[in-house]
């Protein structure tokens, strides 16, 4: 079998190193009606893609232990826009991206909030609808600066590894609510509802 990388013939298939992942972007016409990602003026547009190959993982520089790669071949993953190194491999566009930069995985390849599993310290939040009036019925002015930046936590990632090799879990849980910093994260829409994927570090408070 002939393999080509950026129009050059190479002697064998590409093998990602370390924590790198090779992803083939999903075509727009392959998206389902249940999940549609939408760009806004303030957040990046996420992309979907299938993992073609994944490296063994990241090596702890202190212990030499390998932190396993969180994704594997065949996974459908969510990626931030403007992330990764683009290559043309066997006539199709692929991305090489560090697994730590992936937003999450859709279990079973089904696009939707119920199947989305965040990676690392990321959190899937269902954005609360912005209030348009006070409890006494007074109308509120709505502008970009007052756009809702809070919501209910739907799913959380497992956490991140500390330098001692121990997994540090996320400090919020599904079912709680958070306030997050504006102009952060990657926004998505599932079944008509707005969601955002943010990192734990971008969350300000919870209740």
- Report the SS3 class of residue 181: coil
- Report the SS3 class of residue 141: coil
- If one counts every other C-beta atom within 10 angstroms of the C-beta of residue 169, the result is 14
How is residue 157 written in tokens?
Answer: 């990632």
Q: What share of the chain is helix, strand, coil (3-state, %, to 5)?
A: 5, 45, 50
Where do the domains of the chain lie, and which CATH numbers do they carry? 3-206 (2.30.33.40)
- Computed on alpha carbons and rounded to an integer, the radius of gyration of the chain in Å comes to 19
Query: What percentage of the chain exceeds 70 in pLDDT?
Result: 83
Look up tokens 């390998």; give the residue. 66
**What's the pLDDT at 134?**
55
- pLDDT for 165-206, tens place per residue? 788 999 999 999 999 999 999 988 888 899 999 999 999 999
């Amino acid at each position: 079998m002939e393999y080509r990388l950026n129009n050059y013939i190479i002697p064998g298939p590409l093998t990602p190193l370390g924590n790198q992942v090779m992803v083939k972007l999903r075509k727009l016409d392959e998206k389902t009606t249940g999940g549609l990602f939408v760009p806004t003026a303030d957040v990046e547009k996420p992309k979907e893609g299938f993992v073609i190959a994944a490296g063994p993982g990241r090596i702890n520089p202190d212990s030499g232990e390998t932190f396993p790669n969180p994704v594997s071949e065949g996974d459908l993953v969510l990626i931030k826009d403007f992330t990764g190194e683009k290559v043309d491999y066997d006539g199709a566009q692929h991305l090489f991206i560090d697994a730590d930069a992936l937003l999450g995985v859709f279990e079973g390849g089904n696009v939707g909030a119920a199947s989305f599993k965040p990676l690392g310290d990321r959190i899937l939040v269902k954005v609360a609808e912005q209030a348009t009036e006070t409890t006494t019925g007074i109308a509120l002015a709505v502008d970009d600066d007052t756009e809702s930046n809070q919501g209910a936590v739907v799913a959380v990632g497992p956490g991140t590894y500390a330098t001692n090799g121990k997994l540090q879990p996320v400090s919020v849980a599904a079912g709680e609510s958070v306030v997050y910093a504006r102009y952060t994260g990657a926004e998505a829409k599932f079944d008509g509802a707005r969601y955002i994927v943010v990192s734990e570090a971008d969350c300000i408070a919870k209740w």
